[in-house]
Structure 1
Amino acid sequence: MKCKRLVASVVMGALFSGAAWAQVKVGVVSSSTGPVAMVGIPQKNSVPLMPTKVGNLTVQYIPLDDGSDPTASVVAIKKLISEENVDAIIGPSGSPNAMGVIQFAAEAGVPLLAPVGTAAVVLPMNEQKKWVFKTTQNDQLIADALVGHMAKSGIKTVGFIGTSDPYGENWAKVFTESAGRKGIKVVSSERFQRSDSSVTAQGLKVLMSKPDAVLIAAPGTPAVLPQITLYDQGYRGKVYQTHGAALPEFLKLGGKKVEGTVLAASLMLVLDQISDSHPSKKIAIDYVNAYEKLNGSKPATFGGNVFDAGLLLKNAIPHAAAKGKPGTPAFRAALRDALEQTKDMPATQGVYNMTAADHSGFDERGRELIAVKDGKWTLIQ
């Protein structure tokens, strides 16, 4: 009798062990509360839409909210690594938050898929950043599109207002260099905190430089404040925004004061105006429809950045599983290698082609020039 119980115990143990090996655990850290919530909420809401089965493997997502606090992001990442033994992490939502957790993901050998704006999470590439993959367009790709439009519009001088964090600082660097190559001069450069309730002083300094146009570099709803401040101060020149402003709340909060804004962002903003031949169109439409059915509203592009992370993992997991078991360092290392070798993979934001040097992988198919016209996003043909 004891022998039978022992055999049964061994068999059940093997079954449970096999079940454990058959599961890939993915942590998702988003800022669904706090100042970055307008970015983090659509990201959190996208998690139920991501793949839960890849081949014979199931995928478990473990969502955590960091409250937009970089310190809480570190706590969440450490918890996912040490307590949950995750194979990959998606997040955090904010650029400063992501910059602060890279070392911990790298030290643990856990791939980090960062749905943030700043290219500083993957550039310049080094031993730590080789574990990070960015699911948004790099600043350079967006900046070149904006500068190209400025040059064609005859703009010679630009004022710059950006957030005082990695997002704004990297944008100031990339944009100034890109503009210089086209003979466009940055005549003023101001910073503000995301949590600021007033940028009156910064606006006045930009106005005093008398620019032909102004570029605002801020992620989420903080992108609105500098623009409406400039409008209220009498500025009527052209205003440009980065892909950080690509959310419905920008239009709602800005109203008529953001009319005419030009930005470069993913096709998700103007899906009905995109050619059916675009490889990402159907994927994006299916995602938007599924999100709206689940949440009762359309997602901001930031949600697509997290959904795309799920698609990247779905594509990479089978390759990693051939070299190691989920839950092991071998699997995570193979997963990192497989992500780096992503080729011609369409997703909601564009087409991914990763290399050892490029952990974002977007080309021109990952951006569209868009203007605000009659309170709506309109594709610039």
Structure 2
Amino acid sequence: MKKTFIAFALAAMVPASAVMANEITVGLIVGETGPGASLGIPYKSTFNMVPDTLGGLKARYIMLDDATDTTLATKQARKLIQEDKVDLIFGSGNVPTAVAVSEVTNEAKVPQIALTPTPLKPDTSPWTFSIPQPMNIMSVPVVRHMQANGVKKVGFIGFTDSWGDLVINGFKNVPGNDIEIVAEERYVRNDTSVAGQILKILAAKPDAVLIGGSGTPAALPHTALRERGYKGPIYHNPAVINKDFLRVGGKAVEGGYATTGPVIIAEQLDDSNPIKKVALDFRQRYEDKYGKGSVSAFAAYSWDAYLIGDQAVREAAKKAKPGTQEFRAAIRDALESGNEVVGVHGIYKMTPKDHTGVDERAAALVQVNNGGWKLINIK
């Protein structure tokens, strides 16, 4: 699907070359269908409400659905770069597809702002930036809460792909984490049963279970644990912060924990927190368009991507013209310039060594409470 915002009146008034010099073409790749649809749909919804300018330039957005498929994501990235001549790509929204896109963007030297945490490093993928908080930051509240509540042993079940790897490695790498992992199981995103894996976890007698899934597929092991009588705490990651996870999990996920960015609990933040105002403003905009209670953490990642891209393009436009390699390089340089951007999920300050740019202010622990999310203060 394509969505384009073009100022036709302006195009009629000035030569085409002048229009092109003041217009940026931006690629948007989201997994609107496939296993990652519960994430991709809110990503898309936000992009459908962003302004028709980026960094003061008229913006032509080309939105594509990669169906949560790495092969398709690769093809789409090549099309956007080779045929549509984009200067910037937002996406994709799942780890495997975002990594697939990054192979193309880094080869072609086109800046990419991924909508998911990635295992990529600036020295090997200098053209890829990431909006969502990295798992080493988002795992801190989980570990601290476990420790505060006497958890000594944990069982893990997560996706077989790179997202599962990110979750478990983020947990392991939290400074001061002395919790033993007594079972480590995996499952595929489209599995319909995890009975065997759950039995192995239960046999290890963990004090808590950590699930490394995302979206609605993350509800499967949680439900299976409760069905088999597991009473201990169950922890998730930011990739379950949406209504579809709560809908599919139902009563089984009540009491479960997850980490999130500030947008979900913005009204519970202290007034002195600079993120609060930005988060509440975005929520109001989103819910005015899509209905009360419709906002999700994933929708907010797209908004932060826009805010960061907007500042970078504004700086790049002072140095080069859209459609040139100099302009794309200037966007990349602006992204890692160290300038702060207050977003919905955190305060971003990207540098040549840090292409995510957030700190622990971007992470909070929440609990499923009456079908919603409640902020948990860790003592």
TM-score (norm 1): 0.92
Per-residue displacement from partner, 1:51-84 (whole Å, max 9, x unpaired)?
3224652122110111111111011111100111
| Counterpart residue number, 1:5 | none
- Cα distance in 1 for partners of 2:173, 2:271 equals 35
Higher helix share: 1
User: Of residues 121, 128, 135 in structure 2, which corresponds to 1:132?
Assistant: 128
- Amino acid of the structure 2 residue aligned with 1:85: K
- Cα distance in 2 for partners of 1:295, 1:81 equals 32
- The Cα shift of 1:201 comes to 0.7
User: Of residues 369, 373, 376 in structure 2, which corresponds to 1:373?
Assistant: 369
Query: Any unmatched runs of 5+ in structure 1?
Result: 1-11
User: Of residues 187, 190, 202 in structure 2, which corresponds to 1:192?
Assistant: 187
- The Cα shift of 1:369 comes to 1.3
Query: Any unmatched runs of 5+ in structure 2?
Result: 1-11
Per-residue displacement from partner, 1:204-261 (whole Å, max 9, x unpaired)?
1100000000000112111111100000011000111111111122222222211221
Q: How many residues align?
A: 365
Larger Rg: 1
| Counterpart residue number, 2:213 | 218
- Cα distance in 2 for partners of 1:59, 1:14 equals 16
Structure 1 residues 295 and 155: alpha-carbon distance in aligned structure 2, compared to 1, 3 A threshold: same
- Cα distance in 2 for partners of 1:186, 1:326 equals 50
The yes-or-no answer on 1:252 pairing with 2:244 is no
The yes-or-no answer on 1:79 pairing with 2:75 is no
8 Å contact from structure 1 (residues 28, 62) kept in 2: yes
- Cα distance in 1 for partners of 2:56, 2:283 equals 27
- Cα distance in 1 for partners of 2:34, 2:109 equals 29
- Amino acid of the structure 1 residue aligned with 2:342: P
The yes-or-no answer on 1:208 pairing with 2:203 is yes
| Counterpart residue number, 2:350 | 354
| Counterpart residue number, 1:40 | 40
| Counterpart residue number, 2:99 | 99
- The Cα shift of 1:263 comes to 1.5
* Residues 1-381 of structure 1 aligned to structure 2 (within 5 Å): 15-54=15-54, 56-117=56-117, 119-120=118-119, 122-123=120-121, 125-127=122-124, 129-178=125-174, 181-296=176-291, 298-381=294-377
Larger mean CA deviation between 49-58 and 62-71 belongs to 49-58
Q: Percent identity?
A: 38
- The Cα shift of 1:283 comes to 1.8
- The Cα shift of 1:354 comes to 0.6
8 Å contact from structure 2 (residues 54, 309) kept in 1: no
8 Å contact from structure 2 (residues 31, 66) kept in 1: yes
8 Å contact from structure 1 (residues 136, 305) kept in 2: yes
- Amino acid of the structure 1 residue aligned with 2:247: K
8 Å contact from structure 1 (residues 316, 342) kept in 2: no
- Cα distance in 2 for partners of 1:100, 1:182 equals 32
- Cα distance in 2 for partners of 1:54, 1:105 equals 20
| Counterpart residue number, 1:8 | none
TM-score (norm 2): 0.92
- The Cα shift of 1:14 comes to 7.2
- Cα distance in 1 for partners of 2:42, 2:157 equals 26
Residue 130 of structure 1 aligns to a residue whose secondary structure is coil
Structure 1 residues 13 and 144: alpha-carbon distance in aligned structure 2, compared to 1, 3 A threshold: same
- Amino acid of the structure 2 residue aligned with 1:227: H
Larger mean CA deviation between 32-41 and 366-375 belongs to 366-375
